[in-house]
Amino acid sequence: MSKDKYESPLCERYASKEMQYIFSPDMKFKTWRKLWIALAETEKELGLKDENGNPRITDEQIEELKAHADDINYDVAREREKLVRHDVMSHVYAYGVQCPKAAGIIHLGATSCYVGDNTDVIVMTEALKLVRKKLINVINELAKFADQYKDLPTLAFTHFQPAQPTTVGKRATLWMQELLLDLSDIEYMISQQKLLGSKGTTGTQASFLELFGGDHETVRKIDGKIAEKMGFAECYPVSGQTYSRKVDSRVLNVLSGIAQSAHKFSNDIRLLQHLKQIEEPFEKNQIGSSAMAYKRNPMRSERIASLANYVMCDALNPAITAATQWFERTLDDSANKRISVPEAFLAVDGILDLYLNVVDGLVVYDKVIYQCFMKEIPFMATENIMMDAVKRGGNRQELHEKIREYSMLAGEQVKKYGRENDLVDRIAADPDFGMTKEEIVSILEPKNFVGRAPEQTREFLSEVIQPILDENKDILGVTAEINV
């Protein structure tokens, strides 16, 4: 492998081979040939005649095109492009070299955007389907994690301050809920994908009207036939030379949404790893720091965040491109979209592989979670303790004031002197509460403070998640290979 030129980290380090192929030259140029075959078939089926009234396109020509649909003579196209400086016409020429009988009917009546834009839509649609597949697999892994830890109490945090407890599994449902929003968006976007069709240089189909002798009804049928042959329900009913560049913007907005959800997840994991409660996978020979050998850095979660930042910013590219197009088209979109669109997909592909890998190998330290819980729960349980003491004959107002004072003193011990929370000992030592330390500790049982978190998790998994997994069981089982 040559090391004297730039190589995209998205390919070398992050994206899967499957996603890389979708945006590969081979995928693009094979799709071009499929589109040329679809156009030729459509024109033949609609009865295109030559000037003598004979069929302009024959079965023999179409069969010749099909015979060379996949064996692309790249060397011929490359040399031709050096001469004519036009990629589409270079591949038209190369295809014609392989198909001499059909050379005259390749790309008949079409403009470059016929293959360029239709291929872009086809490629984005295939890429969206792969993203959807991986997204559902991430949801599946999170569901397993949520189910396993649905009953494990943990401190919840608001403002990253200890708050009313939840469970580890319930927290995972929050990550899943965001991914469900993304899944809904991506499924909608897939359902909305339409081809450009074949509309000519400014979208008027004037060239086809001339080919078919002014027969409007026949020309109207071209787009529908092409869409059907390429596996799409329809084409956009009107266009300029290109499909609206808002399509690219809408697609990347969906990818940006996935990046946002993944970034949120990665932040939570990084914070939990700092608290030593949950860690991402750490391999036996993995080095956390070149200087500090003991470190176990959350590098995969950090990489998710890093790639997610890129995708969220990258979504601005097609937005600006769509906003600045002139009339029926300008070419200031081309260089930008051939970078921004593939890179967004390659990055999201890497993000989802990392997400899948992290969830699959999460390590939960339940003892640490319990210790953190018990350091804070006495403060949160004061109302329960007070009410129990009232039932034993205590005065609520007096007990409330005492608990307030003891809480302040206990908090001072923790924050000012770095000592353990002694609130329970202070309350147990006060005869006005009439409770032993053992009785107070029994009130502090973690499961007493998680509300409906376990039940909410079970209900969410069974009523919301499982139907999605059942419907998509054929695409489950994806595993992620992390290159570095």
Q: What is the DSSP string of 203-227?
A: SS-HHHHHHTTT-HHHHHHHHHHHH
Q: Which single residue is written with the structure tokens 């009785």? A: 439
Chain-centre distance for alpha carbon 186: 8
Residue 34 CA to chain centroid, in angstroms? 29
Q: What single DSSP character describes residue 110? A: -
Catalytic-labelled residue, pool 184, 216, 289, 334? 289
Separation of alpha carbons 189 and 131, rounded Å: 12
The dihedral region occupied by 47, where left means phi > 0, alpha psi between -120 and 50, and beta the remainder, is: left
Extended strands (E) in 280-376: 363-364
CA 178, 179, 180, 181 dihedral sign is positive
Residue 382 CA to residue 70 CA, distance in Å, equals 73
Catalytic residue among 2, 159, 191, 290: 159
Q: Which residues contact 241 (CB under 8 A, 6 or more apart)?
A: 111, 113, 199, 200, 201, 202, 203, 328, 329
Known active-site residue 159? yes
Rg (CA), the chain: 31
Residue 216 annotated as catalytic: no
* Residues identified as active-site: 159, 289
